[in-house]
Amino acid sequence: MRILQLTSDWKWTGPAEPMLRLGLAQRARGHEVWLGCPRAPASADRSVGGEAGPLGLSPSFELPAGRGVRPLGDLAAIRALRSFVAAHGIDVIHTWHTRDHVLALRAAGRRGRPGRPAIVRSHRIAEAIPDRPWNRWLFGARTDGLLCVSPATAQGNRRLRAGRPVRGAFGAVDVERFAPRAASPGLRAELGLADTDRVVGIVARVQGHRRFDLLLAAAAQLAARDPSFRLLVVGRGTRRAELAEQPAQKLGLADRVIFAGYRRGDYAEVLRCIDLFTFLVPGSDGTCRALLEAAACGIPAVTTRRGALPEIVRDGETGLLVDERAEALASAWEALLKDPDRRARLGQAARKRAEQCFTGDRFADEALALYAEAQG
């Protein structure tokens, strides 16, 4: 099969890594896979093309940078995409954002046209797509397949699809890179963690909707009754001082909350410094990649029931699901931090689930099955 993975976002954001993992897994199975994306600015720190190139999936088609849909302004891009598809005999265009989705639909033309590739869209939000005229056009008859972030999300979108192919697939992470290993004592010390500290960790961009108010309120409750508790926050955000650092100080948590910032080369090692992972609100990637990485490391999780979290975390088996109340969150943390044997059992089950459900091969299974349905 000849597949074009197409994204209109050059940035290394949440949906980018699942797309790359999928393309690599498909290529490993003998499929011909191309990557299309915009060129990143010279000042960019990380980009889709920059990450994909060293792995052997350098971009082959360049989309013009930009956001939104431009009926007349995109004509040149549509012609270029149509020519690329014809020249390479593309069977499936897998799109990841609204802009590249619309460009692919316009380039492909009407269904039934000879040589028309199947158009598949990954929708990276766990909530059901609103049933509105625009969405009915975009995700309706002209789109041949819809890939959602989980089975329940796919079920919620069946009505909009009116019988057309739709599947749900959990995200994919590198389970070898994120294999369970002991935390580095040197790195723990560098982060300001003592050997006796018990660490709850979160990996998330610091944004208003990610409920850092709830996170810190729970931390304040547990800190008052557990002197060994520490909260490790991994991530950046332009409002980090306002939303997290200053509130932590006001709550008297300056010595209990550690802001590790955005990590790159040592990210997996930082993750292994965490005894218990927590996750409150999904970000731009509804697959909740950081949660999957923690599971691969054998770290159990305490999460809310937002989005796909209740499907990713099996309550009582790989972690705990709690209500969005500070006391509920703090009590769940406390119960697991005080019970290392139970924490170890949950972590082992989380790792097993990651090996079964959160790999590139499993993601490729679901995507390729959807492609076959979409071509039928």
CA-to-CA dists, residue 128 to 14, 136, 166, angstroms: 19, 13, 12
What is the residue extent of each domain of the chain?
A: 2-172+359-375, 185-357
Q: Which two tokens stand for residue 62?
A: 């360049």
Label residue 150 exposed, middle or buried (CB < 10 Å: 0-12, 13-18, 19+).
buried
Furthest-apart CA atoms within the chain: distance in Å: 69
Burial 230-264 (b: 16+ CB within 10 A, else e): bbbbbbebeebeebbbebbeebebeebbbbbeeee
Nearest-angstrom CA–CA distance, 283 and 295: 18
Are both 2-172+359-375 and 185-357 of the same fold?
yes
DSSP string, 174-234: -TTTT---PPPHHHHHHTT--TT-EEEEEE----GGG-HHHHHHHHHHHHTT-TTEEEEEE
Beta-bridged to residue 201, according to DSSP, are 232, 277
Per-residue confidence (pLDDT) for residue 236, from 0 to 100: 87
166-168: strand order across its sheet: 61-63, 32-38, 2-6, 92-95, 118-122, 145-148, 166-168
Per-residue confidence (pLDDT) for residue 362, from 0 to 100: 94
CA-based angle 204:213:303, to the nearest 5?
55
Beta-bridged to residue 37, according to DSSP, are 62
* Predicted TM-score of the model (pTM): 0.91
Residue ranges, the chain, pLDDT below 50: none
Whether 169 and 362 have beta carbons less than 8 Å apart is answered as yes
301-303: strand order across its sheet: 257-261, 229-234, 198-203, 276-279, 301-303, 319-321
**How long a stretch of residues is the chain?**
376
Nearest-angstrom CA–CA distance, 149 and 303: 17
Label residue 10 exposed, middle or buried (CB < 10 Å: 0-12, 13-18, 19+).
buried
Nearest-angstrom CA–CA distance, 362 and 5: 17
According to the CATH classification, is domain 185-357 in 3.40.50.2000? yes
Amino acid symbol at 96 = W
Per-residue confidence (pLDDT) for residue 15, from 0 to 100: 78
Whether 296 and 175 have beta carbons less than 8 Å apart is answered as yes
Contacts 24+ apart (CB under 8 A), 98-102: 98/69, 98/138, 99/8, 99/66, 99/67, 99/68, 99/69, 100/6, 100/7, 100/8, 100/36, 100/63, 101/138, 101/143, 102/69, 102/74, 102/138
Nearest-angstrom CA–CA distance, 147 and 139: 11
DSSP string, 49-70: HHHHGGGT----EEEPP--S--
Per-residue confidence (pLDDT) for residue 264, from 0 to 100: 87
**Pairing of β 198-203 and β 166-168:** unpaired
Q: Which two tokens stand for residue 296?
A: 């691969």
| Topology of the domain comprising 2-172+359-375 | Rossmann fold (3.40.50)
Nearest-angstrom CA–CA distance, 373 and 165: 6
